[in-house]
Structure 1
Amino acid sequence: MRILLTNDDGIHAAGIRSLWAELAQIANELFVVAPDAERSACSQSITVHQPIRVDKFPVENQSNVQAWAIAGTPADCIKIALEALNLEPDLIVSGINHGPNLATDVLYSGTVSAAIEGALHGIPSVAVSLAGRNPSDFTPAARFIAKFVPTMAGHALPPNTLLNVNVPDLPQADIQGVRVTKLGSIAYENVFEKRQDPRGRVYYWMGGSLVYGDNESDSDVTAVQSGYISVTPVHFDLTNYTIMNMIRDWKIELN
């Protein structure tokens, strides 16, 4: 099995290094193509107005691993890997993200967007996050994904679909199990602090707090809060098919 590994926290991040160590033990070939620095919350952005530097990354004592550091976004990493480096992975793994990617977080997440890019290329893809605000032990999440990947590889996903996995930030013995979930509901109460730079120019620094909405028992938010690993199939056809006929009834005309 050939696995392509990326993330949005950068190639030096603890999450990807932990997953790298586990996946190297099960992959015939492991390709690590990750940003050279943190690119969190960049969603599906790609680099179009500046060059993308691609540097071979040193790998020691792992003959089945090749690695590259990319001066771009997670989506760039997948595009470069598949369309410039001409790698041919059987499966793409993005993570482990340093923090949760639950509910509408998937719209902002570089981690999830890398998996979306993989699915756009028709390759089975999974994003994985450690759902803690200051995570430190990525081993349980890495071991779960190393066990999960062969299972995933043995089953076909529908087109334009990826899997989004969130692992609670708990010791291995305290994780309750695995649930297949839907996206839940969270929101942010954003606060924009107005500041001034040394030249007198005004800028804003965004902060705020997380607010959980009412979440049903089968949501990813509820699963993680209850100590379960959530596995959420995410389909990125954003069309709201249920109201298409309603919009047609508006009788929209050109003139």
Structure 2
Amino acid sequence: MDILLSNDDGVNAIGINRLREALLTVGNVITVAPDQDCSGASNSLTLRNPLRLSQHGAQVYSVNGTPTDCVHLGLGLYATDPDMVISGINAGANMGDDVLYSGTVAAAMEGRFLGYPSLAVSLASLDRSPLVHYDTAVKAVLHLLPFVKTYPDAANMILNINVPDVPWEQVQGFCVTRLGQRHRSEPVIRAEDPRGKPIYWIGPPGAAADAGEGTDFYAIQASYVSITPLHADLTRHRALAETARWLEACHAAP
């Protein structure tokens, strides 16, 4: 199995290196990741500056760009098409509204845009304590890997996988979930630099708002591996008819 591996935490992150070591036991892996932490980069592309590919050992590369850039450059390293794209293991959850901002999810989504089955993998904790059980996330990926080719419509597969930060023996199983929702983010944090000039930090994400049964938040709380199938169609299909009626009324107004 040929796997393109990327992330948004950077080429030196714990998660991607733990996963790479494990994947090398089951297939050929090319790793292409950002040269620095690009968390929150979403689906952004670098279009105004040249990209540079730097090698860090056998089939391990960094790019001075975004996770999406990494997937594009990584695919160019293959003589034949890889079997899939994996992004992760992210240091922290990518649940609910997080997927709109996540570079981890974006790398997987770009893999799917380009025609490859893709996984986004995150180690999730509902508090902000240090993450410990990367080995659990690795085992979850290795468990799912043999079944990727049997996934219906595999070329359009984007699975957002969140793994609870608990020992493997405490994982209750795997479950299919929908995205939950968070409360709005906390306010911007104002501070000062050493010269007394104002600086600002984007506030932390909000706590879970929709975390009921069936959501990714609920699964992680119950120590299940959450698997959410994603697609990139942002159309609000249920609103098409009412939007058409609204537009018709706009045209009819004097």
> When the two structures are superposed, what TM-score results if normalisation uses the length of structure 1?
0.90
Q: Where do residues 60-71 of structure 1 align in structure 2 (5 Å cutoff)?
A: 66-71=59-64
Q: Report which of the two has the higher share of helix.
A: 2
Q: Per-residue displacement from partner, 1:176-219 (whole Å, max 9, x unpaired)?
A: 11111111122244122223334554321233463221323111
Distance of 2:181 and 2:4 partners within structure 1: 30
Question: Are the structure 2 counterparts of residues 209 and 69 from structure 1 closer, same or farther at C-alpha, using a change threshold of 3 Å?
Answer: closer
Q: Secondary structure at the match of 1:141?
A: helix
Matched, 1:58 2:50: no
Please name the residue that 2:189 is paired with: 193
Displacement of 1:243 in angstroms is: 1.6
Please name the residue that 1:124 is paired with: 117
Question: Is the CA contact (8 Å cut-off) linking 2:31 and 2:74 kept in structure 1?
Answer: no
- Give the letter aligned to residue 104 of structure 1: D
Question: Is the CA contact (8 Å cut-off) linking 1:102 and 1:220 kept in structure 2?
Answer: yes
Displacement of 1:229 in angstroms is: 0.3
Please name the residue that 1:138 is paired with: 134
Displacement of 1:156 in angstroms is: 3.6
Q: Per-residue displacement from partner, 1:71-93 (whole Å, max 9, x unpaired)?
A: 111000011122x4355211010
Distance of 2:101 and 2:205 partners within structure 1: 16
Please name the residue that 1:19 is paired with: 19
Question: Are the structure 2 counterparts of residues 21 and 222 from structure 1 closer, same or farther at C-alpha, using a change threshold of 3 Å?
Answer: same
Q: Alignment RMSD, CA only?
A: 2.0
Please name the residue that 2:212 is paired with: 216
Distance of 2:19 and 2:78 partners within structure 1: 23
Distance of 1:99 and 1:235 partners within structure 2: 21
- Give the letter aligned to residue 56 of structure 2: F
Question: Is the CA contact (8 Å cut-off) linking 1:44 and 1:110 kept in structure 2?
Answer: yes
Q: Per-residue displacement from partner, 1:44-84 (whole Å, max 9, x unpaired)?
A: 1111121211012213xxxxxx22111111000011122x4
Q: Where do residues 137-176 of structure 1 align in structure 2 (5 Å cutoff)?
A: 137-157=133-153, 160-176=156-172
Unpaired segments ≥5 residues, structure 1: 60-65
Q: Report which of the two has the higher share of strand.
A: 1
- Give the letter aligned to residue 243 of structure 1: A
Distance of 1:99 and 1:188 partners within structure 2: 18
- Give the letter aligned to residue 94 of structure 2: N
Please name the residue that 2:34 is paired with: 35
Q: Percent identity?
A: 39
Q: Per-residue displacement from partner, 1:15-48 (whole Å, max 9, x unpaired)?
A: 0011001111111x21111111111111111111
Question: Is the CA contact (8 Å cut-off) linking 1:160 and 1:237 kept in structure 2?
Answer: no
What count of residue pairs does the alignment treat as equivalent? Answer: 247
Displacement of 1:112 in angstroms is: 0.4
> When the two structures are superposed, what TM-score results if normalisation uses the length of structure 2?
0.90
